[in-house]
């Protein structure tokens, strides 16, 4: 018998070789019908695999991220089986589960071009195959046998992947007539896949290498119920309306230029002003918490990032070294701000009385993302982090961490991100090579985060293996207006960079000690944060942030002069206003400016001019009556103060 421990700390005994499905059946017949995957000792596995030793387990259903992963991974294999049946001779690259659904990179063959109109037939074939209720069967074979198998299929993509693997056992998965190289996990069988939608076709270079062949990437999503798919497709249509790339263009916030380069956004005047207001908002908060602003260059010597460990971990994702006229001198475009801030700390000797020191910077960094991974502002090659690094004594660590939590919570409240969860990301004890630093320091860092969250009353989930390479972290996972999850704010505890950069302070004992670092970025990056904010608000930004707070609409040309006078008064009162003096009917002007998402429409005609007033209309709230310009300015200022929590 073996002992199986459950998340509620209960323990049961089962015969050696018991499967997750057997365990689920012993607990509930309904659970056995719904279970999709199992985590055994922090490893996600097929629910049908035998468990041979004492283990802690967690059973996953559809509502769990792990359950969806197994469901969508299995759906990718089902799609490959359907494609194999419809397109004999097709070759297969990789087919993973992704955040919402799955994809498969395929090579249809010379002269074969798949189109969006072909996807309906693939969907139908997938459902036909799913109804056959075939099992997903795992097979362990030698590397030589795996090579021989895919050699007979003449599948060069799989052969390349296998050749890159270490010698030893290779796992294949088979369902129906399709066999794939895969480590799993998968569903017990195809039966749970009841609804499928293939969403799009795109090009993708093999293994992300722009010098390799471009394959056909087919994206899809699947569900255990048709109703879930129907609801998702409605959500997808709403998401298209809120797409930050579409709204950003309509509101003239940002653009991209092929001449500048992919993934390098150009902020237009309105977008730059909006971004500047976000920066001012955070700078004001940081002043209240005694942060000091610093500025660091966009490049640094390669050795700086070798010292920090970033080059070893992320060198392949960085822009490659910039050579100068000096022999042997190499620079990198800055991939992270923290090494630069460490050097600022080293500028002069530090005493324990100087700590904590809090450096903040809106620092632009650069990562070489593959072109196929770029997406509007959410995935770019150059982005600005609202970065800060706190250097403190170990006894100050927990209080400083809690203060950063307070900053993040205030930002989320002000910007109406009310629906969020917090995730404590710890290292994976079974994969130590991913991390740097001593066991002792990791334990201290992880304990500080967990205790700080408990003392702040945060309900957290713990994710093992999601820590940064230099330390554990607290991530804030925000749900937007459509219920989509985004990772925004992050706070990280780091004992390791102070070691690598030999940072010191003189303690009360007159001895030298190492400070602890806290890395924090409440927005994450300005680009990604603005993208999420656009989609969360559908471009209807809060009044204090929106590019234009009001527009003056003269009823006819006769009132243009009065409209200009109103505009001047508003601008003199620091109200962001524009005028629409087109020779159009007032109804059209109102409709057009509502589409521009301008919060207040100020209509002026004969009566308003005679009384020295404006007629106020609020976006989504209709007519607010007539008032003087001064009264309107007070109304705007009061609303802004309320939104910012200043009253």
Structure-model confidence comparison of residues 87 and 328, the more confident one: 87
The answer on pLDDT for 434 being more than 70 is: yes
Residues 377 and 407 in one domain: yes
Structure-model confidence comparison of residues 170 and 321, the more confident one: 170
Residues 569-587 pLDDT 10s: 999 999 999 999 999 999 9
Give the pLDDT band of residue 327 (cuts 50, 70, 90).
confident
DSSP per residue over 271-327, as a string? HHHHHHHHHHHHHHHHHHTT-EE----SEEEHHHHHHHTHHHHHGGGSPPPEE-SST
The answer on pLDDT for 440 being more than 90 is: no
What's the average model confidence in pLDDT over 47-73? 94
Classify residue 141 by burial, with Cβ atoms within 10 Å: 0-12, 13-18, 19+: middle
Residues 99 and 195 in one domain: yes
Domain boundary among 242, 277, 307: 242
Q: Which of 144-153, 183-192, 316-325, 383-392 has the lowest mean pLDDT?
A: 316-325
Q: Is 338 annotated as a binding residue?
A: yes
CATH number, domain containing residue 79: 3.30.980.10
Residues 595 and 474 in one domain: no
Q: What is the pLDDT of residue 647?
A: 54
What's the average model confidence in pLDDT over 92-121? 92
Annotated active-site residue 320? The verdict is no
Annotated active-site residue 385? The verdict is yes
Annotated active-site residue 473? The verdict is yes
Residues 101 and 167 in one domain: yes
Does residue 119 lie in a domain region?
Answer: yes
Residues 216-241 pLDDT 10s: 999 999 999 999 999 999 999 999 99
Does residue 275 lie in a domain region?
Answer: no
- Give the closest residue to 146 by CA, choosing from 170, 128, 129: 170
Annotated active-site residue 389? The verdict is yes
What's the average model confidence in pLDDT over 199-207? 90
Q: What is the pLDDT of residue 487?
A: 87
Residues 621-646 pLDDT 10s: 888 999 999 999 999 999 999 998 87
Q: What percent of the chain has pLDDT over 90?
A: 75
Annotated active-site residue 338? The verdict is yes
Does residue 403 lie in a domain region?
Answer: yes
Region of 645 please: left (phi>0), alpha (psi -120 to 50) or beta: left
**Contact of 2 with 18, CB cutoff 8 Å:** yes
The one catalytic residue among 84, 286, 385, 549:
385
CATH number, domain containing residue 475: 3.30.930.10
Give the integer Cα–Cα distance in Å for 492 and 466.
Answer: 12
Q: What is the pLDDT of residue 430?
A: 67
* Cα distance between the two ends of the chain: 65
Domain boundary among 14, 35, 61: 61
The one catalytic residue among 367, 444, 456, 479:
367
What's the average model confidence in pLDDT over 470-494? 88
The one catalytic residue among 155, 180, 386, 387:
387
Does residue 251 lie in a domain region?
Answer: no
Residues 108 and 193 in one domain: yes
Does residue 436 lie in a domain region?
Answer: yes
Annotated active-site residue 182? The verdict is no
Q: In what order do the strands lie in the sheet with 137-142?
A: 137-142, 169-175, 178-181
Q: What percent of the chain has pLDDT over 70?
A: 100
Give the pLDDT band of residue 396 (cuts 50, 70, 90).
very high
Domain extent for 315: 297-336
Structure-model confidence comparison of residues 66 and 373, the more confident one: 66
Does residue 214 lie in a domain region?
Answer: yes
What's the chain's average pLDDT? 92
Q: What is the pLDDT of residue 92?
A: 94
Q: Is 389 annotated as a binding residue?
A: yes
Based on the structure, what is the number of domains in the chain? 5
The one catalytic residue among 389, 393, 536, 597:
389
What is the CB neighbour count within 10 angstroms for residue 355? Answer: 20
């Amino acid at each position: 018998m073996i002992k199986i421990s459950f998340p509620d700390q209960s323990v049961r005994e089962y015969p050696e070789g018991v499967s997750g499905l057997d365990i689920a059946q012993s607990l509930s017949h309904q659970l056995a019908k719904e279970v999709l995957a199992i985590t055994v000792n922090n490893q996600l596995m097929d629910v049908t695999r035998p468990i041979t030793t004492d283990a802690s387990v967690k059973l996953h259903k559809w509502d769990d991220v792990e359950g969806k992963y197994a469901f969508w991974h299995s759906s990718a294999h089902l799609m490959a089986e359907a494609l194999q049946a419809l397109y004999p001779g097709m070759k297969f690259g990789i087919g993973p589960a992704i955040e919402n659904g799955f994809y498969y990179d395929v090579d249809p063959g010379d002269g074969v071009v798949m189109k969006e109109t072909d996807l309906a037939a693939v969907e139908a074939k997938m459902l036909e195959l799913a109804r056959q209720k075939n099992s997903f069967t795992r097979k362990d074979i030698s590397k030589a046998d795996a090579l021989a198998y895919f050699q007979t299929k003449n599948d060069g993509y799989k052969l390349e992947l296998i050749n890159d693997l270490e010698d030893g056992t290779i796992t294949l998965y088979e369902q129906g007539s399709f066999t794939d190289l895969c480590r799993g996990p998968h569903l017990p069988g195809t039966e749970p896949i009841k609804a499928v939608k293939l969403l799009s076709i795109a090009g993708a270079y093999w293994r992300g290498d722009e010098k390799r062949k471009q394959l056909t990437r087919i994206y899809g999503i699947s569900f255990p119920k048709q109703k879930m798919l129907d609801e998702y497709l409605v959500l997808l249509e709403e998401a298209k309306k809120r797409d930050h790339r579409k709204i950003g263009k309509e509101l003239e916030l940002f653009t991209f230029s092929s001449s500048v380069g992919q993934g390098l956004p150009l902020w237009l005047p309105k977008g730059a002003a909006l971004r500047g207001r976000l920066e001012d908002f955070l700078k004001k908060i940081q002043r209240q918490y005694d942060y000091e602003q610093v500025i660091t260059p966009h490049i640094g010597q390669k050795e700086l990032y070798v010292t920090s460990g970033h080059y070893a971990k992320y060198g392949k994702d960085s822009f490659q070294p910039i050579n100068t006229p000096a022999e042997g001198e190499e620079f990198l475009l800055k991939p992270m701000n923290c090494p630069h801030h460490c050097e600022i700390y080293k500028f002069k000797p530090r005493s324990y009385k100087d700590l904590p020191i809090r450096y903040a910077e809106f620092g632009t960094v650069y990562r070489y993302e593959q072109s196929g991974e770029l997406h509007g502002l959410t995935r770019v090659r150059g982005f600005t982090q609202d970065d800060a690094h706190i250097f403190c004594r170990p006894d100050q660590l927990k209080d400083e961490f809690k203060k950063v939590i307070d900053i993040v919570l205030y930002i989320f409240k002000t910007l109406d991100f009310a629906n969020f969860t917090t995730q404590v990301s710890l290292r994976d004890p079974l994969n130590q090579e991913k991390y740097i630093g001593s066991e002792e320091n990791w334990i201290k860092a992880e304990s500080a985060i967990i205790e700080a969250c408990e003392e702040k009353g945060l309900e957290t989930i713990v994710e093992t293996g999601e820590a940064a390479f230099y330390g554990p972290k607290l991530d804030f996972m925000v749900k937007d207006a459509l219920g989509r999850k985004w990772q925004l704010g992050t706070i990280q505890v780091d004992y390791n960079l102070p070691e690598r950069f030999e940072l010191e302070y003189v303690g009360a004992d007159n001895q030298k000690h190492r400070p602890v670092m806290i890395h924090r970025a409440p927005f994450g990056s300005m680009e990604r944060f603005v993208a999420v904010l656009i989609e969360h608000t559908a471009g209807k930004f809060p009044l204090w942030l929106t590019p234009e707070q009001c527009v003056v609409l003269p009823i006819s040309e006769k009132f243009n002069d009065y409209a200009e006078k109103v505009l001047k008064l508003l601008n003199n009162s620091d109200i962001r206003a524009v005028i629409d003096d087109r020779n159009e009917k007032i109804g059209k002007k109102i409709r057009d400016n509502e589409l521009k998402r301008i919060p207040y429409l100020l209509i002026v005609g004969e009566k308003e001019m005679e009384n020295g007033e404006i007629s106020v209309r609020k976006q989504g709230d209709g007519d607010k009556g007539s008032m003087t310009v001064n009264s309107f300015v007070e109304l705007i200022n009061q609303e802004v103060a309320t939104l910012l929590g200043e009253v």
